[in-house]
Structure 1
Amino acid sequence: MYELILFDLDGTLVDTAGDICDTANDVLLELGLAAVDEALARTWIGQGSRELMIRAYAHASGLSETALRAGSGVDCLMDLFTRFHAQRCGKRSTVYPQVRESLAALRDIGVRMAVLTNREMRFARLVLERHELQDYFDPVIAGDTLPAKKPDALPVEYCLREHGVDRNKALLIGDSAVDIATGRNAGIRCWVVPYGYNGGRAVIEDAPDRMIADFSWIVAAMRDSQCGLSNRPKPSKELLSWR
């Protein structure tokens, strides 16, 4: 059985696209630019707020992303993003189905849990607190916690050391190619959910170790491993993928 499960936040635990898109549009409108469509904004989520705002501003202004990254104007964008997102964070986001029940069940059977996210810590904690999920996770590793973020192995390595868990006893749950690459770089398995944010691409294309329908599959797998059983029916080939 896995002793430690590491969860991505945005697109895995919580659907935060509404909050993030509203904030990006607050910034763009403040600067006299047109708002972007939420469906497009969803394809930009996963690399942190700074990268998202670079893409949103480039799209709305016609400037190149490369030019924006090379200049100093992104700091101004992030100042505005921080101000608006503090008000938006948690307002239009929702916890995905089966998440609350599954986290409680995993805690009850003794599985330790942590969060690995590329968003900034102040917003990661705010999302978790506003949806009353914060008590399940220790630690919460954000994009600005360590010198490197996902897909670098450092966040995983940090959690393994904190909990004293071997990598073969740890599992990463995510929704994107970034999470899959993180698992590979750290030498741990990565299971993914079919919803969430993966740049508009089906995450199955990135060959995760396993695809699960929802969080209840995690609980079933942990309980089956405790009992030495495998009673849960297997889903269709479209849903499950094994490496």
Structure 2
Amino acid sequence: MALPAIEHVQAVAFDLDGTLCDSVPDLAAAANSMRLYLGMDELPQQTVESYVGDGIAKLVHRVITNDREREADPKIWEKGFIYYMHYYRAHLSDLTRPYPETEAGLALLKSLGIPLVVITNKTEILAVELLKQLKLADYFSLILGGDSLSEKKPNPLPLRHAAEVLGIAPENMLMVGDSRNDILAAKAAGCLSVGVTFGYGDMPLLSQDPATKPDWLIGALPEIYEHLQPQKPQENN
């Protein structure tokens, strides 16, 4: 995919789950522990993965009903949600790991003096704690969760808020993510969108629709640095 004009990028925002780290093993373990607690059978990890991306409140609905769209009975959902949050918070990083080149990519971008932020639909307190446990928190100037503001992705508000806090125009910020929500939020905010091909979303499929086609596809985070660092003029032989 052709690269966008990127010489003016002043900040980079990242999604968390499926972009910086592979958290599905712990999300699925919490989901299945909750289902057993509620007297239900376990779900395949791949099924839970397909339900991730819109925050834990929505994930609990989907895991209880085993359906992306249906909502659970309010009393069952509340019982499940309380259990899920307690279990997941106690097991945030048992199996969750940064993707292989996450830290290298973040360190390279920090070396350019570009502020980095996390914009996730995960609850803020869990996002902050997970990043601390993964030893990634210090790379970021700002961490916004799904409950930090009145709206979450795909609404553009978190991206616009981050740009405002950093004192830059949204069009000068990259939004890096693996899902439909990330791309839609970036486009609505006026940010450049970068889709990762190693996350939970189907980026080749999303790229077929103009509404969810990212400006740029990458297979590893260091690729961002490679295209943002100042280009040296070619010497004549």
Same fold (TM over 0.5): yes
Distance 2:202 2:34 in 1: 22
Instruction: Find the partner of 1:207 among 208, 213, 220.
Output: 213
Match in the other structure for 1:227: 231
Distance 1:207 1:39 in 2: 24
User: Aligned letter for 2:231?
Assistant: C
Please state if 1:193 is matched with 2:196.
Answer: yes
Instruction: Find the partner of 2:126 among 115, 123, 127.
Output: 123
* Percent pairwise identity: 26
* 8 Å Cα contact 2:61-2:70 kept in structure 1: no
Deviation for aligned residue 1:68: 1.9
Query: Which residues of 2 match residues 52-201 of structure 1 at below 5 A?
Result: 52-59=59-66, 66-68=70-72, 71-198=74-201
Distance 1:191 1:148 in 2: 21
User: Aligned letter for 1:227?
Assistant: Q
Instruction: Find the partner of 1:34 among 20, 41, 55.
Output: 41
Number of equivalences: 224
Deviation for aligned residue 1:200: 9.6
Deviation for aligned residue 1:228: 5.7
Deviation for aligned residue 1:202: 3.7
TM-score by length of 1: 0.87
Instruction: Find the partner of 2:27 among 20, 38, 55.
Output: 20
User: Aligned letter for 2:218?
Assistant: I
* 8 Å Cα contact 1:151-1:181 kept in structure 2: yes
TM-score by length of 2: 0.89
Match in the other structure for 1:237: none
Deviation for aligned residue 1:73: 3.1
Distance 2:233 2:217 in 1: 20
Distance 1:20 1:55 in 2: 13
> Which residues of structure 1 form unaligned runs of 5+?
231-243
Distance 2:144 2:30 in 1: 23
Deviates more, 1:98-107 or 1:12-21: 98-107
Distance 1:144 1:50 in 2: 10
Match in the other structure for 1:10: 17
